[in-house]
Amino acid sequence: MQNIFGLTVEELTVLLRPWKVPAYRARQIAEWMYQRQADSFSVMTNLPAVLREQLAEKLLIQRASMLDRWDSADRRTTKFLLAFADGVAVETVLMRHSYGNSICVSTQAGCAMGCVFCASTVHGVVRNLTVGEMLAQTIFINDFLKSGQERVDTMVLMGSGEPLMNYENVLGFIRLVHEPYCLNLGYRNITLSTSGIVPQMYALAKENLPITLSVSLHAPNDEIRSQLMPVNKKYPIAAVVAAGRDYAEQTKRRVTYEYILIDGVNDSEEAARELSQLLRHQLASVNLIPINPVAERHLQRPSAEHVERFAAMLERCHITATVRREMGTDIQAACGQLRNQHLKP
């Protein structure tokens, strides 16, 4: 049996040719799957009954099933642990902001990148997610929101995994979720976060997709960054920032640099000055994120005062900086922490 969840209308049309199904039927099937919560052909009442039976013999529609769910005390963040057909599970997070509903999608089960502040990488990478599995996370939350007459408004690819190490599937997913027969999500409402895979950053700039690129920088120089992010040994900070500059120039989109603030590691005034030098004259902004302590590591959060001082120093050097509001710390919203709890014996 072949799973068709995650196929485009064009792919479905090709697949359905042996059944002599006209192209408009492929679109109807896609709308049933992606907009009308169908998980079987039997509910697709605008398809002939004979065709529904024929398709059900050969094809199936695999969605994600919920293993667990956590709500933050303020009910603004909900985290889901979603499982796929082979039992592999990932986290997907819904954040209710004043400007709409944002979701954080995983692109790989686990992660190979080894960032020391991240719980997703503690058990390494299991595998890449397919287009259908990334879409299944998104549609799961969209269906969840529908009961309250709401929908997914913005999406960040910032869950477990390095999206640019799963390049083709991630691009296929972004294009599919944008289709009117799917979620019709605007490209400008999508942010892709990378740890700095330089060749794929240049490739992404050429895709002609006006999505926002977010680069996990987390340090102002190679010495500190290599301690925090092993990927820096392969793609040093200057090469990452050059690729970010190229992305901004090609797409005319502001690049966001993520900077997790860790007490005594990367939060000095000197670090703020170095960071400003690095990003000078670039269409860029910095997102400062006081670290969520990770149980498996020993990294501490700086005081609120210290965070404000770091932000003010960047502003003085003409770098736009915002301190990210914490959401869901009480449910361990930092990526990977809940999945790890489930993996623990």
Catalog residues that contact ligand SF4 under the rule CB under 6 A: 111, 113, 115, 118, 120-121, 160-162, 195, 216, 335
Catalytic residue among 91, 133, 162, 258: 91
User: Least distance to ligand SF4 from the beta carbon of 258, Å?
Assistant: 9
The 8-class DSSP code of residue 110 comes to E
Nearer to ligand SF4, 123 or 306 (CB): 123
CA distance 219 to 227: 9
Token pair for 314: 């960047």
Burial class of 26 by CB neighbour count within 10 A (0 to 12, 13 to 18, 19+): buried
Nearer to ligand SF4, 296 or 308 (CB): 296
CA distance 252 to 210: 8
User: What pairs with residue 190 in β-bridges?
Assistant: 155
Please state, as a whole number, how many other Cβ atoms lie within 10 Å of the Cβ of residue 236: 17
53 is catalytic: no
Token pair 């002609």 is found at 208
305 is catalytic: no
User: Least distance to ligand SF4 from the beta carbon of 28, Å?
Assistant: 37
Extended beta strands in 241-327, E state: 255-261, 284-290, 321-323
Catalytic residue among 115, 118, 182, 335: 335
Nearer to ligand SF4, 116 or 317 (CB): 116
User: Least distance to ligand SF4 from the beta carbon of 2, Å?
Assistant: 30
The 8-class DSSP code of residue 259 comes to E
CA distance 139 to 136: 5
User: Least distance to ligand SF4 from the beta carbon of 255, Å?
Assistant: 17
Token pair for 301: 């959060």
Nearer to ligand SF4, 115 or 209 (CB): 115
Buried residues in 240-250 as b, exposed as e (16+ CB within 10 A): bbebbbbbbee
User: Least distance to ligand SF4 from the beta carbon of 115, Å?
Assistant: 3
Q: Is 38 in a helix, a strand, or coil?
A: coil
The residues annotated as belonging to the active site are 91, 335
